[in-house]
């Protein structure tokens, strides 16, 4: 195609640097734009941003920029590159790595301090320790992989569940034998402090397993082509994450039991640890409803069991205590929290296996990245 | 006659930091005889925190909604509502994934080229959109549904369906999630509670201050209540979408481009009038399927008062000074201007160049530094005599200093105003120079030719020699300068003042309302209908050039030739 519209030049002036096909040069100049464009209008917008007007298009023997863009679109060889490299998943940060260690260490320190104090000082130590653990726990849940949307209405059930793990076993035993006659310090109402310490320490592995789950899902998400593929590849990942966390909690329970010189309450700690971990995992991914319901239901069940034991002392209501009494005499006092928390954890695991394998559950996390 | 106008803005009018704030404010203040309801979308928390501009009394109500966050109303769909949502969303997704059989711009015969039984893509898109809007209006809970897995699944199905475009077929899971999230953001206007009898149903006409999201409520008001829609676009939203697209995969870009393209087409189809701000915007709108009979170019208005004093007198102009005014950035091509000035100095040694304006952003800052260095290299400092302190013939200044307190003073300082951009939208600085009655030399970019219209010199962009020749010819001919300047001022006063802008919109409002059937009887204070309160309707349903069958005598009807006959 020769440029016939060029004005007649005076002899002697050098010919302009233009080949037989002016569009080819333009195509070369805007090659990237033309090859990645998905429709001619995108090329037209890009050309206009580079200062191409209808009068420029007229030099290429086109009516306007749109028809020029159409020719460019038709002539460019569109290649679909490999998908752009996914942004790397966030690397672990020292901030949250340290923060998640704090509640466990503070809790352990408080428990050790309680062993060596007495009277008024002991009460003050306990109060200061509880406050410190509470604050550090809040800080740990604010940032890092454990941070999530606010989930009002879960704090109370969680407090109850933890308190029950700490005091419940002794209280139940004392209640069944007609007590309790003393505050929770003496021999007939022992505290299972190792459980509390293990749960507080479990914050750190929970953060790491959640981080691992998130980075792995991110990788699976970028690699999968269909939603079904994604779901099937995430399911074992979820189970692995929960198993890893359970292993960590078990190890921590044995460790704290040895440190504090108590019998390890594996059943209570493992089930409660799993329940709390799963509910946090769901909350982090934006599902706040199910954890709230399940945690509240579990706490209510435990409260009802205790209340039934005390209510059985009223005349004529002795039958109320029978189920709990059977459970304790047949098994151990730890069977009640282990059973309730275990059942709740199973329900949440099933729920998580359905919800967290959906791609849309991870869309929010992707968008924030 | 009093018209109640629903002004729809996005990140604009009542907010202090809005884009189109000045224009809308002048429009609302200029039409004090009408009543305005402002429906505004805010773009960010920061914008909301900065507050509103003072509103005149004709603004009777302001309703705002955030576009940057969505509130869940807690409604969970039952089985039937969920099925309804999935159906409509799947239809929407299918309309986006399938190639448009009639490419934009060649729509005139689209209706006939369609295979029977397959609804037109635009209709499909519109039906799905209105279906979703109806669902949101009746049941609520659309925000959560748009984020749900059902939406992503419907998108996946549409992308894998036969007949989907190639980029869509190659969509991966992250692409689907990105598209779903973007659609959720774009469809947020559907979830609002504005579409009620005492909300958008109560206005006489909707005026969208931009296309895209801002026009969506107007589209729905038209669908639900038959409120006519007027769309003003100073920059075409679809084009901006192409330019600001993130570096995402082809699948995402293709699906989102399809969404914005179809939405723009539907807006243009339903609007009573579309008013582009210049010919460039008009060409894009035509390309996107806007009917030419609906297009009315309304130039943006500029306040002529600050330039009146300079425009009336030529006294302060230094005949050997060129002025460039604007924000310094690479698109303004000051390098080319400096080279042109070197050429000018060869022919007119006493000439000076004043570059007035601050840098735009960090890129502009770097560019300004580069230009200063180039100016220092090209032009050595020079002094009047051996004992005077020298000065560079090129000076870089900013408006607001003691020498140039206002833009008008900057234009007044020179005999010729130069514009050297390589990329330009609507050249506001050129119009200011015209209002000041200055002769101008500008490059042929954007809407420059359309604005200047023969009252100034125009040269090709990136051509310093042509720029220099044009400047020299003006510098040597004061009479021509004066003639061109006067003509330019007259043209600017005729076309680009606030008054013409307001008058144009006022006329369009009345025309639109006059063409719309009266939906409710105007009542006076005692509740008695007022006769002649609304104008007689001048509205013919359907388009008069439609190829619809019209009563024709039998003898005049074209003879029906059987298809088999024609095939032989």
A363 contacts B147? CB cut-off 8 A = yes
Residue B491 within a domain: yes
B173 contacts A221? CB cut-off 8 A = yes
User: Are the CB atoms for A33 and A46 separated by under 8 Å?
Assistant: yes
The total number of structural domains in chain B stands at 3
- The angle subtended at Cα A327 by Cα A325 and Cα A332, nearest 5°, is 105
Residues of A in contact with B97 (CB under 8 A): none
Residues of A in contact with B74 (CB under 8 A): none
- Give the C-alpha distances (Å, rounded to integers) separating B139 from B125, B129, B135: 21, 15, 6
pLDDT in tens, A91-136: 767 788 888 888 888 988 888 888 787 778 888 888 898 899 889 8
User: Are the CB atoms for A202 and A252 separated by under 8 Å?
Assistant: yes
Residue B530 preceded by cis peptide, ω within 30: no
User: Are the CB atoms for A292 and A278 separated by under 8 Å?
Assistant: no
Residue B314 within a domain: yes
Residues of B in contact with A358 (CB under 8 A): 149, 152
Using CB atoms, pick whichever of B181, B250, B287 lies closest to residue A80. B250
Using CB atoms, pick whichever of B147, B172, B462 lies closest to residue A360. B147
Residues B86 and B218 in one domain: no
Q: Which of B478, B496, B514 is the last residue of a domain?
A: B496
Residue B530 within a domain: no
Q: What percent of chain A has pLDDT over 90?
A: 20
Instruction: Select from A232, A217, A99 the least CA-distant residue to B177.
Output: A217
Using CB atoms, pick whichever of A50, A221, A229 lies closest to residue B174. A221
A366 contacts B177? CB cut-off 8 A = yes
User: Are the CB atoms for B17 and B47 separated by under 8 Å?
Assistant: yes
Residues B116 and B155 in one domain: yes
pLDDT at B114: 40
Q: Any residues with CB less than 8 A from the CB of B435 and at least 6 apart, and which?
A: B302, B304, B307, B311, B489, B492, B493, B496
> Which residues face B65 on adjacent strands?
B41
A55 contacts B444? CB cut-off 8 A = yes
Residues B338 and B400 in one domain: yes
Q: What are the start-end ranges of the E strands in chain A?
A: none
Residues of B in contact with A221 (CB under 8 A): 173-174, 177
Residue B315 within a domain: yes
A38 contacts B257? CB cut-off 8 A = yes
Residues B213 and B343 in one domain: no
Using CB atoms, pick whichever of B105, B147, B173 lies closest to residue A66. B105
Between residues A302 and A180, which one has the greater pLDDT? A302
Q: What is d(CA A325, CA A331) in angstroms, rounded to the nearest whole number?
A: 10
SS3 content of chain A, % helix, strand, coil (to 5): 70, 0, 30
Q: Which of B294, B315, B346 is the last residue of a domain?
A: B294
Using CB atoms, pick whichever of A39, A51, A224 lies closest to residue B423. A51
Q: Which of B183, B210, B228 is the last residue of a domain?
A: B183
Residues B250 and B330 in one domain: no
Q: What is d(CA A217, CA B177) in angstroms, rounded to the nearest whole number?
A: 14
pLDDT at A145: 80
Residues B243 and B177 in one domain: no
Residue B435 within a domain: yes
pLDDT at B383: 76
Residue B300 within a domain: no
Please identify among residues 332-361 of chain A the ones whose CB lies closer than 8 Å to any CB of chain B: 358-361
Residues B352 and B450 in one domain: yes
pLDDT in tens, A271-320: 999 999 999 999 888 888 888 999 999 999 988 888 888 888 887 777 77
Using CB atoms, pick whichever of A39, A53, A360 lies closest to residue B148. A360
- Give the C-alpha distances (Å, rounded to integers) separating A34 from A24, A38, A64, A353, B445: 12, 9, 17, 44, 22
Residues B455 and B372 in one domain: yes
Residues B56 and B166 in one domain: no
User: Residue A364's closest chain B neighbor by CA?
Assistant: B181
Residue B280 within a domain: yes
Q: Any residues with CB less than 8 A from the CB of A117 and at least 6 apart, and which?
A: A125
User: Residue A225's closest chain B neighbor by CA?
Assistant: B172
User: Are the CB atoms for B409 and B320 separated by under 8 Å?
Assistant: no
Residues of B in contact with A30 (CB under 8 A): none
Using CA atoms in the order B43, B48, B53, B56, what is the torsion angle rounded to 10 degrees?
90
Has residue A18 got a pLDDT over 70?
A: no
Q: What is d(CA A219, CA B197) in angstroms, rounded to the nearest whole number?
A: 50
Please identify among residues 203-222 of chain A the ones whose CB lies closer than 8 Å to any CB of chain B: 221-222
Q: What is d(CA B307, CA B318) in angstroms, rounded to the nearest whole number?
A: 17
pTM metric for this prediction: 0.81
Backbone phi, psi, residue A24, to 5°: -60, -40
Test mutation, B182, B237, B242, chain A, max A CBs within 10 A:
B242
Q: What percent of chain A has pLDDT over 70?
A: 86
Q: Any residues with CB less than 8 A from the CB of B15 and at least 6 apart, and which?
A: B21, B40, B42, B47, B48, B50, B51, B52, B53
Residues B258 and B355 in one domain: no
Residue B433 within a domain: yes
The reply to whether A13 touches chain B by the CB within 8 Å rule is: no
What CATH number does residue B343 fall under? 3.40.50.2000
ipTM of the complex: 0.81
Residues B95 and B243 in one domain: no
B461 contacts A360? CB cut-off 8 A = no
pLDDT at A192: 77
Q: Which helix (H) or strand (E) holds A231?
A: helix A227-260
Residues B286 and B317 in one domain: no
- Give the C-alpha distances (Å, rounded to integers) separating A72 from B156, B165, B243, B423: 31, 19, 18, 21
User: Residue B148's closest chain A neighbor by CA?
Assistant: A360
Q: What is d(CA A66, CA A57) in angstroms, rounded to the nearest whole number?
A: 9
Domain residues of chain A, as ranges? 22-75, 151-368
A38 contacts B250? CB cut-off 8 A = yes
Residues of A in contact with B174 (CB under 8 A): 86, 221-222, 366
Domain that holds residue B430: 305-496
Asked whether the CA dihedral B315, B316, B321, B327 is positive or negative, the reply is negative
Q: Give the sheet arrangement for strand B4-10, strand by strand.
A: B59-66, B35-42, B4-10, B205-208, B229-233, B273-276
Q: What is d(CA B397, CA B358) in angstroms, rounded to the nearest whole number?
A: 8
Tens-of-pLDDT digits for all 568 residues of chain B? 678 899 998 887 888 876 677 888 888 988 888 889 999 998 888 888 888 888 888 898 899 888 888 777 777 888 899 999 999 999 999 999 887 654 444 444 433 444 444 457 778 899 999 999 999 998 888 888 888 889 999 999 999 888 888 888 888 888 899 899 999 989 999 988 889 888 888 888 999 988 888 899 999 999 998 899 999 998 888 888 888 766 778 888 889 999 999 999 999 999 999 999 888 889 999 988 888 999 999 998 888 888 888 887 766 678 889 999 988 988 888 999 999 999 999 998 889 999 998 888 888 999 999 999 999 988 888 777 788 777 888 989 888 878 888 888 888 888 899 999 888 878 889 999 999 999 999 998 888 888 998 899 999 888 899 999 999 999 999 899 999 999 999 999 999 999 999 999 999 998 888 887 776 666 777 777 777 666 555 555 555 565 555 556 666 666 655 544 444 4
């Amino acid at each position: 195609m020769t440029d016939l519209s060029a004005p007649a030049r005076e002899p002697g002036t050098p010919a302009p640097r233009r080949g037989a096909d002016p569009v080819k040069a333009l195509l070369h100049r805007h090659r990237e734009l033309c090859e990645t464009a998905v429709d001619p209008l995108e090329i037209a917008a890009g050309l206009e941003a580079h200062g191409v007007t209808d009068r420029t298009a007229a030099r290429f023997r086109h009516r306007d920029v749109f028809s020029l863009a159409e020719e460019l679109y038709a002539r460019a060889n569109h290649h679909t590159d490999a998908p752009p490299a996914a942004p790397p998943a966030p690397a672990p940060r020292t901030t949250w790595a340290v923060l998640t260690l704090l509640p466990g260490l503070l809790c352990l320190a408080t428990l050790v301090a309680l062993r060596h104090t007495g009277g008024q000082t002991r009460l003050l130590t306990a109060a200061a320790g509880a406050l410190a653990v509470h604050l550090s726990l809040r800080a740990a849940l604010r940032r890092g992989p454990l941070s999530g949307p606010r989930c009002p209405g879960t704090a109370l059930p969680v407090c109850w569940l933890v308190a029950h793990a700490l005091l419940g076993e002794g209280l139940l035993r004392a209640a069944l034998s007609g007590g309790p006659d003393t505050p929770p310090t003496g021999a007939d109402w022992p505290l299972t402090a190792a459980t509390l310490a293990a749960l507080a320490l479990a914050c750190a592995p929970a953060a790491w397993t959640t981080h691992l789950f998130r980075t792995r899902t991110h990788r699976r998400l970028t690699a999968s082509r269909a939603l079904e593929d994604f779901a099937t590849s995430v399911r074992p990942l979820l189970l692995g994450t929960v198993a890893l966390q359970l292993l960590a909690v078990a190890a921590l329970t044995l460790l704290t039991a040895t440190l504090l010189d108590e019998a390890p309450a594996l059943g209570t700690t493992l089930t409660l640890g799993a329940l709390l971990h799963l509910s946090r995992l769901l909350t982090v991914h934006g599902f706040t409803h199910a954890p709230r319901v399940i945690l509240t239901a579990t706490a209510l069940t435990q409260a009802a069991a205790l209340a039934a034991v005390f209510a059985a002392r009223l005349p004529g209501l002795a039958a109320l205590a029978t189920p709990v009494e059977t459970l304790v005499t047949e098994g151990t006092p730890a069977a009640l929290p282990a059973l309730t928390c275990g059942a709740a954890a199973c329900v949440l695991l099933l729920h998580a296996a359905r919800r967290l394998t959906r791609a849309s559950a991870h869309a929010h996390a992707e968008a924030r990245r | 006659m009093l018209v109640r106008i629903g002004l729809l803005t996005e990140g604009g009018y009542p907010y202090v930091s809005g884009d189109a704030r000045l224009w809308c404010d002048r429009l609302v203040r200029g039409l004090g005889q009408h009543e305005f309801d402002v429906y505004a979308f805010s773009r960010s928390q920061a914008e909301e925190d900065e507050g509103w501009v003072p509103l005149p009394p004709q603004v009777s109500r302001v309703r705002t909604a955030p576009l940057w966050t969505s509130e869940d109303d807690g409604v969970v769909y039952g089985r039937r509502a969920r099925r309804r949502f999935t159906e409509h969303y799947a239809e929407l997704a299918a309309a986006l994934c399938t190639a448009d059989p009639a490419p934009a711009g060649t729509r005139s015969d689209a209706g006939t080229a369609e295979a029977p039984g397959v609804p037109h893509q635009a209709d499909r898109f519109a039906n799905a959109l209105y279906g979703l809007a109806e669902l949101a209006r009746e049941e609520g809970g659309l925000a959560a549904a748009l984020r749900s897995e059902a939406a992503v699944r419907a998108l996946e199905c549409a992308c894998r369906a036969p007949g989907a475009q190639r980029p869509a077929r190659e969509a991966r899971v992250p692409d689907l999630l990105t598209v779903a999230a973007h659609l959720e953001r774009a469809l947020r206007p559907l979830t609002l509670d504005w579409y009620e009898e005492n909300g958008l149903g109560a206005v006489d006409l909707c005026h969208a201050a931009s296309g895209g999201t801002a026009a969506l409520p107007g589209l729905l008001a038209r669908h639900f209540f038959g409120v006519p829609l007027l769309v003003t676009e100073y920059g075409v939203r679809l084009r901006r979408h192409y330019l600001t697209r993130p570096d995402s995969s082809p699948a995402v870009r293709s699906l989102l481009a399809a969404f914005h393209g179809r939405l723009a087409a539907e807006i243009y189809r339903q609007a009573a009038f579309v008013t582009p701000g210049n010919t460039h915007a008009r060409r894009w709108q035509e390309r996107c399927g806007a009917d030419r009979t609906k297009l009315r170019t309304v130039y943006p208005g500029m306040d002529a008062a600050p330039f009146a004093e300079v425009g009336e007198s030529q006294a302060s102009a230094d005949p050997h000074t060129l002025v460039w005014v604007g924000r310094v950035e690479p698109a303004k091509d000051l390098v080319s201007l400096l080279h042109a000035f070197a050429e000018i100095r060869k022919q007119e040694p006493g000439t000076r160049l004043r570059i007035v304006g601050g840098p735009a952003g960090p890129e502009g800052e770097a560019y300004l530094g580069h230009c200063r260095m180039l100016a220092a290299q090209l032009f050595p400092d020079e002094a009047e005599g051996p004992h005077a302190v020298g000065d560079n013939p090129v000076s870089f200044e900013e408006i607001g200093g003691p020498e140039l307190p206002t833009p008008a003073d900057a234009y007044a300082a020179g005999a010729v105003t130069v514009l050297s951009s390589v990329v330009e939208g609507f050249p506001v600085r050129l119009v200011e120079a015209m209002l000041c009655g200055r002769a101008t030399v500008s490059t042929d970019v954007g809407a420059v030719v359309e604005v200047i219209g023969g009252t100034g010199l125009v040269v090709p962009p990136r051509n310093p020699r042509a720029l220099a020749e044009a400047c020299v010819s003006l510098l040597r001919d004061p009479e021509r300068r004066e003639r061109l300047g006067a003509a330019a001022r007259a043209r600017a006063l005729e076309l680009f003042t606030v008054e013409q802008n307001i008058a144009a919109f006022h006329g369009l409002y009345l025309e639109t309302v006059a063409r719309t059937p009266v939906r409710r009887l105007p009542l006076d204070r005692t509740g008695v209908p007022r006769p002649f309160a609304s104008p007689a309707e001048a509205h013919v349903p359907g388009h008069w050039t439609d190829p619809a069958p019209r009563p024709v005598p039998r003898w005049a009807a074209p003879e029906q030739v059987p298809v088999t006959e024609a095939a032989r």
